[in-house]
Amino acid sequence: MLTTTISRMQSLITPTFLFSPLSTKATPLASNLLYLASKSIFFSKTQNPISSLPLKPIMISVKPSDFRIQTRCVHSKSSRSTSSGEIHVIVGPMFSGKTTTLLRRVQAEINDGRNVAIIKSNKDDRYGLDSVVTHDGIKLPCCAMPNLSSFRQKFGQDAYDQLDVIGIDEAQFFEDLYDFCHDVADHEGKTVIVAGLDGDYLRRSFGSVLDIIPLADSVTKLSARCEICGKRAFFTLRKTEETQTELIGGADVYMPVCRQHYVTGQVAVEAARMLLESQKLQCNSCV
């Protein structure tokens, strides 16, 4: 069942799903497909519930000559004009299911007939830039952006105006998160669903994620399983000696841990780091 779901989800970003129901044939240009995958991320209501994804990007029409796109949502029950915006924040350590939860909520919005787009930071290129991917391999098309303020222009004003819901993954990497959420929810009446790390590997506030909590309608803090003892894990331990705040990586670099194993783990990593440093110093003095 899971394998079927994942393989169905994976087929989402293959060219077959990027063919336009409005045009009689698909564009043969790979560049068009890439453009579509990263630029025109509308989803329609699907017949299937979340348990049997996929979501289906719809109504994308490409003119290969000028790369312009038209988007239309047949199922749209847009409520932008009648309702105010909302902000929902999903936080937790790595591997706690933030992206999974974001995709589930996006699916629920689609089932409700709303137009949705997903944005992620282009800093996280682990799985390519045209999809949001969970640690379980479930993925959906997205726009990868250096910042949020340029999303409207990249997406296209007309398409942007039709959006009811914007999902943001890896929110800790967006410096303009606060202003974007503020504008979109307060002034444009859209719903923003934000997923990101509340803390970095040293448990310091990460980016602007905590700053938007006073703006939020709801905040969900998720936990993972401690990789050492299996208890609930609220923290992310970095297993390597690198000290920069931003360091893209997965299970090769990070592990979710409980409080006890965060503390003991940090001591071990710090000891290893000091040992490495002293060995480097010895090496340098030999030369």
Ligand X SMILES: Cc1cn([C@H]2C[C@H](O)[C@@H](COP(=O)(O)O)O2)c(=O)[nH]c1=O
Binding site residues, ligand X, CB under 6 A: 94, 98-99, 124, 170, 197, 200-201, 236, 245-249, 254
- Closest contact distance (angstroms) between CB of 273 and ligand X is 15
Q: Which does 70 bind (CB under 5 to 8 A by kind): ligand ADP, Zn ion, ligand X, none?
A: none
Let me know the angle formed at the C-alpha of 1 by 49 and 234, rounded to the nearest 5 degrees.
Answer: 80
Out of 86, 136, 179, 188, name the contact with ligand ADP by CB under 6 A.
136
Residue of 226, 237, 238, 262 interacting with Zn ion (CB under 5 A): 226
Q: If contact means CB under 5 to 8 A according to the sort of partner, which of Zn ion, ligand X, ligand ADP, none does residue 246 touch?
A: ligand X
**Contact yes or no for 73/46 (Cβ under 8 A):** no
Helix/strand/coil for 225: strand
In angstroms, the CA 162 to CA 142 distance is: 16
Contact indicator for 176, 182 with CB cutoff of 8 Å: no
Residue (36 or 222) nearer to ligand ADP, CB: 222
Backbone angles phi, psi at 247, to 5 degrees: -145, 105
> Vertex 145, ends 139 and 147: CA angle to 5°?
135
Residue 18 binding result from ligand X, Zn ion, ligand ADP, none, given CB thresholds of 5 to 8 Å by partner type = none
**Extended strands (E) in the chain:** 43-44, 56-57, 60-62, 69-71, 86-91, 116-121, 131-133, 139-141, 143-145, 165-169, 191-196, 218-221, 224-225, 232-233, 235-238, 254-257
Figure out which of the listed residues 62, 148, 224, 257 binds ligand ADP, where binding follows CB under 6 A: 224
The torsion of the CA quartet 232, 236, 240, 244, rounded to 10 degrees, works out to: -170
Q: Which candidate in 86, 170, 227, 241 is catalytic? A: 170
Least CB distance to Zn ion at residue 270 (A): 18
Catalytic residue status for 170: yes
8 Å CB contact between 238 and 248 = no
Residue 43 as a binder of ligand ADP (CB under 6 A): the answer is: no
Question: Which of ligand ADP, Zn ion, ligand X, none lies near 132, with the C-beta cut-off 5 to 8 A by kind?
Answer: none
Residue 129 interface partner, choices ligand ADP, Zn ion, ligand X, none, CB cut-off 5-8 Å depending on type: none
| Binding of ligand ADP by 176 (CB under 6 A) | no
95 binds ligand ADP (CB under 6 A): yes
Asked if 248 interacts with ligand ADP (CB under 6 A), we say no
- The token duo for 83 is 């309702």
**Where on the chain is the footprint of ligand ADP (CB under 6 A)?**
92, 94-100, 134-136, 224, 227, 251, 255
**Where on the chain is the footprint of Zn ion (CB under 5 A)?**
226, 228-229, 231, 258, 261
What amino acid positions are annotated as catalytic residues? 170
